[in-house]
Amino acid sequence: MIIRSKPMGRRTVLRGMGATLALPLLEAMMTSPSAAEAAAKTRMRLQVIYMPNGMMMQNYTPAQTGAGYAMTPILKPLEPYREKFAVISGLAHKQAEALGDGGGDHGRSCGSYLTGVHVKKTEGADITSGPSMDQIVARQFSEQTQIPSLELGLDPPSLVGSCDTGYSCAYTNTLSWRTASTPLPVTVNPREVFERIFGDGDSLDAKTRIMRLRRQASILDSVAEDARHLSGSMGADDKKKIEEYMASIRDIERRIQKMEQGGPSAAALPAYARPSGIPDSFEDYARMMIDLQVLAYQADMTRVGTFMVGREVSGRSYPEIGVADAHHPLSHHGNDPEKIAKLTKINILHMEQVAYYLKRMSETKDGEGTLLDHSMLLAGASLADSNTHQHTNLPVIVAGGLVKGNQHMMVKDDVPMTNLMLSMMDRLGVQQERLGDSSGRLTGFTA
Amino acid sequence: MSPIIKRSGFAIGLVACAGLAGAALFGNATADTLPPVTRLAQAAPQAAPQVASASSTAGRKAMLLQYCSGCHNDKSKAAGMSVQPLDADHLGANNDVWEKILRRVSLGEMPPRGMKRPSKEEIADFTRWLSSSLDGMSAAAPNPGRATLRRLNRTEYGNAVRDLLGLDIDLSKDLPVDDMGYGFDNIADVLTVSPTLMDRYINVAGKVSRLATGLASRTPVTTDYKITKDLFENAFGIAAYNERASDDLPVDSRGGGSFKFYAPYDATYTIQLYLNAGTQTESEIDANNRHEVKAFMKAGPRIIGASFPRKLTLEQVLIPRTTKGPRVGTSATVVQLPLDVQVDGALVQRITVPSVAQGPNVAQDFYMRDIMQISVAGPYDVKGPGNTASRRTIFVCRPSAEIAEAACARRILASLARRAYRRPVTDRDIGRLMKTYDAGRQDGGFEHGIQAALEEVLVSPNFLFMRESNPPSSAPGSVNRISDFELATRLSFFLWSSIPDNRLLALAQAGQLSRPAVLKQQVTRMLSDPKARALTQNFAGQWLHLRRLEYQRPDKRNFPGFDERLRTAMLTETQMFFDGVVRENRSVLDFLDADYTYVNQRLAEHYGMKGIYGTSFRKVNLDPALHRGGLLGQGAILTVTSYNDRTSVVLRGKWILDNILSAPPPPPPPDIPALNEAKNGKLLSVREQMDLHRSNAICASCHSKMDPLGFSLENYDAVGAWRVNYAGQKLDVTAVLPDGTKFEGPKGLQGILLDRKDQFVEAFTERLMTYGLGRGLEAYDMPAVRKVRYAAAKDDFRMSTIIMEIVQSVPFAMRRTPER
């Protein structure tokens, strides 16, 4: 559904949809320019972009280390931002390996990506991973924004069948784990993302809106009371479900409080139109989601986001770039040059989306600087060569103002990915002693 | 050590590689997910009708030792299993292991080929004894398993709101897609609640409650309906059809589309039609090609349609997509085309739109003028909330001299809460809702009060979760029948994916529903209700992977004939076929082999059938020469089991094992050796690759089961069209099963599957039961599955018998009080 009222703000046209999004005028919402400036300096964002089914490493890894390395075909789209990102080679996710659990490398990949945890092999009854880096950061940042984090993706949770043998689809549907047993599935519908950020917005009149918020708050109080009442007579398993429900309610309640206290909110935003559905073209779709994520950062609705360009075992085909084959079977390329060429094309297309994110972040003002200046990005995959399900020497890109750009770092001895994540968290000011299989910290990539 | 054991020891040496193969065969997902020992461990096994004498149970044990312990001993533990500690006198201690043995032995998979095997008679006797013993044990100490608190999934939520409020809108798309487990999206364990979901619930509850009570926002909004069109790979043009785009449009129309729009008020609305631009990027939607009409609509669900009158002759449905040269009838100049706009089938206005004429390659006759998107903007000039079905359903009374406001509100909320919570309402329920009502009433009056309370009902845990309570003072671990209200809920979510209706609730209230005669009558009634389409949409949609069809993108270069019309037609065929088996209470063996199907012209042409005209579907008898019949001859199934650019014997074979035979192959080993797809520089044919699979012991352990099944379907291409030749060669579709059975082509496969009809019916029952229970099946459920099969066999495996048996089965009708 598209809400149309007379747009008043700056607009950016979303390709393919003909829908318009009016960007919020963040500065206008702030009390004074200097206050805006001060606030911008202390705000930091964490973004993760995940690419499925591994990477054609021979067309990805730069031949030289250090600064001024030569761009490879897959890294080429990032060239304009050379100063803003670093390539790190040699990191590993040993916990995504079988370790006695047999097949299902894809199934393990997403669950361990931000957790460093060897996920429990199960189809459903007792999924266990996490908590994930983004959620640890989100928890710490949550006091400052209305939405602790956004989890976005482009592949709907597997619609049929199992996802990877023996592993529940819950493992491949997200990177984000609030706790060890609570995954936060990605949202794939742009309209849902929009409404999550800006509310359902079928009334723009502030008085009605506040009245509705109060109503919602009191209803939530009431149903939370019902839930407590119910859980009294429940067994342990059922109780766990009700606790998830109550935790989610607390989340929304906190958000409503924040909105009532003022600050940026949909009520204060200029008129806008919302996306009506999922664009047909992959690129339009990816860009629309990135636009929404950047919008959420710009309005300071959240400071943490994960984005899955695809989920593991994704069978998406990309006819628009001449790849009619399904991605996952193709990724078991058996060293066939034709297949490798096609995979490289897919990797490049995905990397172009990372470039688009950097572009949008770098051209969006945040105080004196840009959003990119005040953020950190981790982009990569949980598999290197998917043909052999390799979880070592992973493709890793870190970017943003908090990162020392223009360098290719090479680390040795399968240093855990989680070491990198711990150091990223350090830079974001989030105290964390350990994460999953971390064995220390990784230095040299932050600015 | 006895000489017998020595002999099998010798056999191990012989088939060192087969040992590996055997391990893989056993180590399937079931083996990993079966629980250790269930409560039944303590239950003494009951004498079953055919339990053998003591001497013969000793004989069973000796048989296990003789034929199985060569690999499955305490030391080698092939597939993590040893038969040495098994006690044939006390099956209960290891019922999960015994179930596994029963399955593998009756499938003829164990002992593996090449090893010494018991005679056919010995095997039959053994499996008869084992199954009847396990069944008898289960009958004596039923174990209904665990039923975790289950949340409504998004489909169920949407249907429940529809039925609760009489509000005919599709809400499921407003909620996030649910996670899946065991192949379905209604599995209690994986239906979690996240803040994102809660956010959506609050959002949707607000919108829905306002819409249903007639208090929706009066701010005009635009609702868009994008019409699915065929786009070429390079976004060049749209396929144009000289046929009716939907059953809601006039018979003599072409193009356009229709959609259901919910008008929030009696008011005026603008219907906007966006036409294709006639450019190279036909997918573009722009204001230059927008045409508008105004229409007054009554509040409620309205069908908005727009289409062109049809010009060509009846048989001519497809305008060929040539890209070169002028075509007969091409007009170089712009002409005016009539375009009709309808609401609920009645013409609102005929407008004229200019044709596109921009040169020979993009002239309108190549890409006929068509509609890309229909939008409805409004409401304007609102007259009132109207007399909608939802307002009639909700406002069962009006405050008046006879009934005070508060009393009327109580009556309304009691009626809503009873149906939403699917149980008698308590004073506590009403007390809470009245509090919210009071707050809303103060803000805006009586109707606002009801709206606020309804908003609460729609996010209440009583509504969102299917809660079942334990009988008062029942001991932890004890097994009890579920209450009649709980039965009503289980039934309606199973058969309708929605809440029980008043009839079911009334029978539950009277304590009648669980009486077998009443239950049977109700199941029959429910299956003949249109709401039972939910079984097709949700059960069949997932069991048969039909939901994947929407995401399949067959390569246009290899399959130029595949388009949106064909995709829709394939889906409709299989849905109507499944629905027909339910509605006409036919045998589920029709799924394997039926002499009828459902087609329209588009699909008939795809299948090579003649004389079928028009877009409507009809039931047709199948000529054997067409090579169709049963699910495995249907385009939808054959397409979802293919890659976009080619068929895959492995995908198809695995699909049959998973969904038709419930014998999923184990996962591929972690480090799969890459197959050499070329030999001496020449690419290998599918058959040569298969031979390669077979020659490698590790590959062979699974592929010898998958490949032959898939291979027999090679006569169907990746979109299910019949082919005799492939890549210039005649296809040889003879295949050999691991047990040596030779068969040929789809007909041969049908025979193979019909020979295994017991296995198929059990597989089907397992899938349906998993869906009905919202949980994965465990070893202790297998006796219930077999019981369904036995009963169904007596009635030609008819659908309603299978469903009746499932709803009366131990896991469906009973519940175990959980341990604290």
DSSP code string of A113-163: HTT-------SSTT------HHHHHHHHHTTTSSSS-EEEESS-S--SS-S
Please state the rounded mean pLDDT for residues B519-526. Answer: 97
Contact residues for B746 (Cβ-Cβ < 8 A; gap 6+):
B627, B632, B633, B712, B713, B715, B716
The pair of structure tokens assigned to B187 is 């599995």
Nearest partner of B567 among B635, B513, B614, B474, judged by Cα: B635
Nearest to B177 among A156, A244, A317 (CB): A156
Q: Where are the alpha helices (DSSP H) in A142-281?
A: 190-198, 206-231, 236-260
- As a whole number of angstroms, the distance between CA B488 and CA B503 comes to 10
CB atoms within 10 A of CB B335: 11
The pair of structure tokens assigned to B532 is 């039972």
Helix (H) or strand (E) holding B309: strand B300-309
Residue in A191, A216, A223 to test binding to B, most B beta-carbons within 10 Å: A223
User: Which residues of chain A does B282 touch, with a Cβ-Cβ cutoff of 8 Å?
Assistant: none
- Portion of chain B with pLDDT greater than 90, in percent: 50
Burial B61-71 (b: 16+ CB within 10 A, else e): bebbbbbbbbb
User: Which residues of chain A does B182 touch, with a Cβ-Cβ cutoff of 8 Å?
Assistant: 123-124
| CA distance, residue B806 to nearest chain A CA (Å) | 22
CB atoms within 10 A of CB B637: 26
The pair of structure tokens assigned to A285 is 């779709």
C-alpha A286: how far from chain center: 12
| CA distance, residue B553 to nearest chain A CA (Å) | 7
Q: How confident is the model at residue B613 (pLDDT cuts 50, 70, 90)?
A: confident
Q: Please tell me if residue B233 touches chain A, with a CB cutoff of 8 Å.
A: yes
Positive or negative torsion for Cα A381, A387, A393, A399: negative
β-pairing, B682-683 with B678-679?
A: antiparallel
Nearest to B221 among A4, A156, A218 (CB): A4
Q: How confident is the model at residue A191 (pLDDT cuts 50, 70, 90)?
A: confident
Phi, psi of B153 (to 5 degrees): -85, 180
- As a whole number of angstroms, the distance between CA A107 and CA A314 comes to 11
C-alpha A238: how far from chain center: 30
Contact residues for A105 (Cβ-Cβ < 8 A; gap 6+):
A96, A97, A98, A164, A383, A389, A391, B670
Which range has the top average pLDDT, A167-176, A319-328, A429-438, B643-652? A429-438
Amino acid B331: pLDDT:
53
- As a whole number of angstroms, the distance between CA A281 and CA B217 comes to 33
Q: How confident is the model at residue B820 (pLDDT cuts 50, 70, 90)?
A: low
- Are residues B33 and A122, on separate chains, in Cβ contact within 8 Å? yes
User: Which residues of chain A does B196 touch, with a Cβ-Cβ cutoff of 8 Å?
Assistant: 151, 184-185, 187, 196
SS3 B326: coil
Could you identify the residue written with the tokens 């509040």?
B299
Instruction: Determine contact, residues B223/B176, Cβ cutoff 8 Å.
Output: no
CA separation (Å) from B701 to B20, B694, B697, B705?
A: 8, 8, 6, 8
| CA distance, residue B6 to nearest chain A CA (Å) | 31
Q: How confident is the model at residue B89 (pLDDT cuts 50, 70, 90)?
A: confident
User: Which residues of chain B does A183 touch, with a Cβ-Cβ cutoff of 8 Å?
Assistant: 179, 192, 194
Stretch among A135-139, B3-7, B184-188 having the lowest mean pLDDT: B3-7
User: Which residues of chain A does B173 touch, with a Cβ-Cβ cutoff of 8 Å?
Assistant: 189
Nearest to A188 among B177, B436, B671 (CB): B177
- Are residues A238 and B149, on separate chains, in Cβ contact within 8 Å? yes
| CA distance, residue B576 to nearest chain A CA (Å) | 20
Is the model's pLDDT at A328 over the cut of 60?
A: yes
DSSP-derived letter for residue B276 is P
What ipTM describes this predicted complex?
Answer: 0.80
Residue in A219, A239, A285, A385 to test binding to B, most B beta-carbons within 10 Å: A219
Instruction: Determine contact, residues A288/B235, Cβ cutoff 8 Å.
Output: no
- As a whole number of angstroms, the distance between CA B619 and CA B584 comes to 13
- For residue B677, give the chain A residue with the closest CA: A334
Burial B169-190 (b: 16+ CB within 10 A, else e): bebbebbbbbbbbbbbbbbbbb
- Portion of chain B with pLDDT greater than 70, in percent: 84
**How high is the mean pLDDT of chain B?**
83
Instruction: Determine contact, residues B558/B523, Cβ cutoff 8 Å.
Output: no
CB atoms within 10 A of CB A208: 15
Amino acid B278: pLDDT:
62
Q: How confident is the model at residue A35 (pLDDT cuts 50, 70, 90)?
A: low
DSSP-derived letter for residue B619 is E
Q: Where are the alpha helices (DSSP H) in B395-549?
A: 405-421, 427-444, 446-457, 461-464, 484-495, 502-509, 516-528, 533-534, 541-543
Is the model's pLDDT at A266 over the cut of 60?
A: no
Instruction: Determine contact, residues A249/A224, Cβ cutoff 8 Å.
Output: yes
**How high is the mean pLDDT of chain A?**
83
- As a whole number of angstroms, the distance between CA B747 and CA B358 comes to 52
Is the model's pLDDT at B787 over the cut of 80?
A: yes
User: Which residues of chain B does A162 touch, with a Cβ-Cβ cutoff of 8 Å?
Assistant: 180, 183
pTM score: 0.82
β-pairing, B253-263 with B300-309?
A: antiparallel
Nearest to B432 among A199, A200, A222 (CB): A222
- Are residues B177 and A159, on separate chains, in Cβ contact within 8 Å? yes
- As a whole number of angstroms, the distance between CA B704 and CA B739 comes to 10
- Are residues B675 and A334, on separate chains, in Cβ contact within 8 Å? yes
Is the model's pLDDT at B373 over the cut of 60?
A: yes
- As a whole number of angstroms, the distance between CA B33 and CA A168 comes to 12
Amino acid A205: pLDDT:
62
Q: Which residue has the higher pLDDT, A372 or B73?
A: A372
- As a whole number of angstroms, the distance between CA B102 and CA B11 comes to 22
Residue in A203, A241, A332 to test binding to B, most B beta-carbons within 10 Å: A241
Nearest partner of B490 among B459, B526, B521, B517, judged by Cα: B526
Angle at which helix B516-528 crosses helix B799-807, to 10 degrees, equals 130
- As a whole number of angstroms, the distance between CA B629 and CA B709 comes to 17
Amino acid A25: pLDDT:
36
CA separation (Å) from B396 to B48, B399, B408?
A: 56, 10, 8
Q: Which residue has the higher pLDDT, B85 or A3?
A: B85
β-sheet bridge partners, residue A398: A86, A378
CB atoms within 10 A of CB B624: 9
Is the model's pLDDT at B572 over the cut of 90?
A: yes
Q: How many residues does chain A have?
A: 447
- Are residues A1 and B223, on separate chains, in Cβ contact within 8 Å? yes
Q: What share of chain A is helix, strand, coil (3-state, %, to 5)?
A: 40, 15, 45
**Burial of residue A369 (number of CB atoms within 10 Å: 0-12, 13-18, 19+):** middle
Q: How confident is the model at residue A227 (pLDDT cuts 50, 70, 90)?
A: very high
User: Which residues of chain B does A212 touch, with a Cβ-Cβ cutoff of 8 Å?
Assistant: 206
- Are residues A222 and B456, on separate chains, in Cβ contact within 8 Å? yes
Please state the rounded mean pLDDT for residues A438-444. Answer: 93
Instruction: Determine contact, residues B307/B250, Cβ cutoff 8 Å.
Output: yes
| CA distance, residue B87 to nearest chain A CA (Å) | 29
C-alpha B29: how far from chain center: 21
- As a whole number of angstroms, the distance between CA B562 and CA B551 comes to 13
- As a whole number of angstroms, the distance between CA B513 and CA B507 comes to 5
The pair of structure tokens assigned to B813 is 């009708």
- Are residues A203 and B283, on separate chains, in Cβ contact within 8 Å? no
| CA distance, residue B216 to nearest chain A CA (Å) | 9
- As a whole number of angstroms, the distance between CA B779 and CA B777 comes to 7
Amino acid B419: pLDDT:
97
Instruction: Determine contact, residues B760/B592, Cβ cutoff 8 Å.
Output: yes
Instruction: Determine contact, residues B710/B680, Cβ cutoff 8 Å.
Output: no
- As a whole number of angstroms, the distance between CA B457 and CA B502 comes to 18
